Amino acid sequence: MDSRPPTMELAPELEFPAEEREKGFWKKLKRGLRMTHTEMIEKISAAVEGRKVVDEETLEFLEEILISSDIGVEAALELVDTLRQDARSQEAVDVLKLRERLVDEVALMLLDAPRPAATGDAPTVTLVVGVNGVGKTTSIAKLAHREGSKGNKVLLAAADTFRAAAIEQLRKWGDRIGVDVIAQSQGADPAAVVYDAIQAAQARGCNQIFIDTAGRLHNKENLMNELAKIDRVVEREAKGWHRRTLLVLDATTGQNALNQARGFADVARVDAVLLAKLDGTAKGGMAVAVARELRLPVLYLGVGEGMEDLVEFHPREFAAALLG
């Protein structure tokens, strides 16, 4: 039986970061989760209306609500079982404290996914993967803008050589945010583009490289071979650099995004997730499903169209914005 009390002091990693507060983090996060938050709160309120404690009928209703919010079946069952155990241990859940209890448990689920090691000041190569149409290239531009605003020198690599439009799109974003883009012609070897990018970054004193890759998930063998070849180039040419793979998922696609994440995790090492288009959906619970079912941490949230509308992911604040 879960022995955690209904209320807990927050661990330091769950506390609200002051610098993000100053940047309007909370405002952006609430805006991004407005649709999910409103829908969930309305349904939860309907489930507990007129009740003083949460009974079995209410728990079953809550289970349906959580599953429909794309939190995922496993996470929904675990959350409801925690509430059920509270009642069995003679700590019947007060409906007024229901959301507070859910916020605590969701935050812990999100925190449980192993996060990649902090890079500190080490130069970093970020391989960005994701199927076409998820907002991958725009997310790369946001990441580059974010790192540049922190004083880092950034370079972009157009390694999605399968589509000429992908190369041109990344170039346009590079021009817009003032970041150089290393590219070759359509059909070129993606690993050769990455090689050129690493050489250019080292020559120009860059310490952040973001690599755009092709999103051909339907051809897993080709994608696996392509990413493995890029990995070998990075390992050989960027000695001493930190390396990570960031998977971009479209929050509006709900459970399909979870299936995409499984597909990429099957063919490549995925370190973390960027959840894009969060402002246009009522499916913000996807972050919980990704963390709970795939053990992948969410690092960033896309909460709008602007270059500033990318926020770092903090479990407690996300859970609070999701559930109220």
Q: In the sheet where 180-182 sits, what is the strand order?
A: 180-182, 154-158, 208-212, 124-129, 242-250, 272-276, 298-302, 310-312
Q: In 259-297, where do the E strands start and end?
A: 272-276
Do 260 and 131 form a contact (C-beta atoms < 8 A)? Answer: yes
The structural domains of the chain, with segments of one domain joined by +, span 14-112, 124-270
Question: What average pLDDT does this structure show over 18-37?
Answer: 65
How much is the CA Rg of the chain, to the nearest whole Å? 21
**Cβ-Cβ contacts under 8 Å for 128 (sequence gap 6 or more):** 136, 139, 140, 143, 210, 211, 212, 213, 245, 246, 248, 274
CATH of span 14-112 = 1.20.120.140
Q: How far apart are CA 321 and CA 323, in angstroms?
A: 6
- The fourth-level CATH superfamily of domain 124-270 is P-loop containing nucleotide triphosphate hydrolases (3.40.50.300)
- Per-residue pLDDT tens over the stretch 212-242: 998 777 677 888 889 899 999 999 999 999 9
Predicted confidence (pLDDT) at residue 9 exceeds the cutoff of 90: no
- The pLDDT, as a whole number, for residue 40 is 80
Q: How far apart are CA 121 and CA 118, in angstroms?
A: 9
Predicted confidence (pLDDT) at residue 21 exceeds the cutoff of 50: no
* Residue 111 bridge partners (DSSP): none
Q: How far apart are CA 11 and CA 87, in angstroms?
A: 25
Q: Quick one: CA torsion of 87, 91, 95, 97, rounded to 10 degrees?
A: -130
- The pLDDT, as a whole number, for residue 45 is 81
Predicted confidence (pLDDT) at residue 114 exceeds the cutoff of 70: yes
Q: Which residue has the higher pLDDT, 120 or 276?
A: 276
Q: How far apart are CA 247 and CA 116, in angstroms?
A: 13
Domains 14-112 and 124-270 share a fold: no
pLDDT bucket at 304, cuts 50 / 70 / 90: confident
pTM: 0.85
The percent of residues in the chain predicted with pLDDT above 90, rounded, is 40
